[in-house]
């Protein structure tokens, strides 16, 4: 399986999530390691194959779909190999081919409002957990302080849903995958304010909390037309 990486996402406890678009099927695929293994060592900056825009060959993937995470494929680390890097034009064309203008077209009608500005699917429901949104209204990126913590957030509006979502784009965080890189986030926010064309990679989380768990919608990555191959520093 050959995929072009367009999701590079921070998770809890220092873990990360990686996903891409399959070159053959034009559908999203998420390579996952055996339980307990850490994907971080497979990042390009750590000598591995994974970074935005990289074409990665995954040998002997085993599909392990679990709705809504129908894209999951289990693999072994030594079976992932960097083939090449895409060009800007090639990567942007791939994103637009995969892109939709409505969230419901990506995640299905099982995507529901949970709070006034949040969305989710019920546990084990939904037709997909990954997608690309071509927003008609320009998103707004900002940092919200919540006590001692700082949260990177984005206002997204697809004319049906008006949302305030968490942003888990790994490139916007320090190497601890927890602390927001405020200067970089502010710079990205200014590009959005200037009206630069953008496509958003979106995802649904694993179900939480323990009581009444649901799959929350989040912004996985931000891709600008001007420089879609912005990679980890």
Instruction: Please name the residues in contact with 25: beta carbons below 8 A apart, sequence gap of 6 or more.
Output: none
Instruction: Please name the residues in contact with 53: beta carbons below 8 A apart, sequence gap of 6 or more.
Output: 4, 5, 6, 85, 86, 91, 228, 229, 231
Could you count the other beta carbons within 10 Å of the beta carbon of residue 81? 13
Indicate the pLDDT class of residue 194, thresholds 50, 70 and 90. very high
pLDDT tens per residue, range 160-173: 999 999 999 999 99
Indicate the pLDDT class of residue 146, thresholds 50, 70 and 90. confident
Mean pLDDT of all residues in the chain?
A: 95
What pLDDT, on a 0 to 100 scale, did the predictor assign at position 157?
96
What pLDDT, on a 0 to 100 scale, did the predictor assign at position 147?
80
User: Largest Cα–Cα distance of the chain, in whole Å?
Assistant: 46
Q: Are 118 and 164 in contact (CB under 8 A)?
A: yes
Query: What is the pTM (predicted TM-score) of this model?
Result: 0.96
User: Going from the N-terminus, what domains does the chain have, and what CATH number goes with each?
Assistant: 2-90 (2.40.50), 99-224 (2.40.50)
Q: Are 131 and 28 in contact (CB under 8 A)?
A: yes
């Amino acid at each position: 399986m050959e995929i072009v990486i367009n999701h590079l996402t921070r998770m809890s406890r220092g873990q990360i999530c990686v996903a891409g678009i399959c070159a053959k099927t034009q559908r999203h695929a998420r390579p996952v390691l055996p339980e307990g293994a850490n994907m971080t060592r497979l990042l390009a900056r750590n000598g591995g194959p994974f970074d935005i825009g990289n074409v990665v060959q995954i040998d002997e993937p085993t599909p392990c779909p679990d709705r809504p995470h129908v894209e999951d494929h289990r693999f072994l680390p030594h079976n992932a190999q960097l083939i090449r890097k895409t060009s800007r034009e090639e990567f942007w064309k791939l994103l637009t081919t995969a892109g939709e203008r409505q969230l419901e077209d990506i995640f299905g009608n099982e995507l529901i409002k949970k709070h006034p500005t949040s969305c989710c699917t019920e546990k084990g429901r939904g037709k997909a957990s990954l997608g690309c949104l071509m927003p008609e209204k320009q998103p707004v990126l900002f940092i919200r302080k919540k006590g001692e913590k700082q949260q990177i957030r984005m206002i997204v509006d697809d004319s049906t849903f008006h949302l305030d979502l968490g942003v888990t784009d790994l490139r916007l965080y320090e190497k601890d995958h927890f602390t927001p890189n405020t200067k970089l986030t502010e710079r990205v926010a200014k590009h959005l304010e200037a009206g630069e064309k953008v496509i958003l990679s979106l995802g649904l989380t694993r179900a939480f909390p323990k009581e009444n768990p649901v799959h929350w919608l989040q912004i996985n990555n931000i891709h600008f037309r001007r420089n879609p191959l912005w990679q980890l520093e």
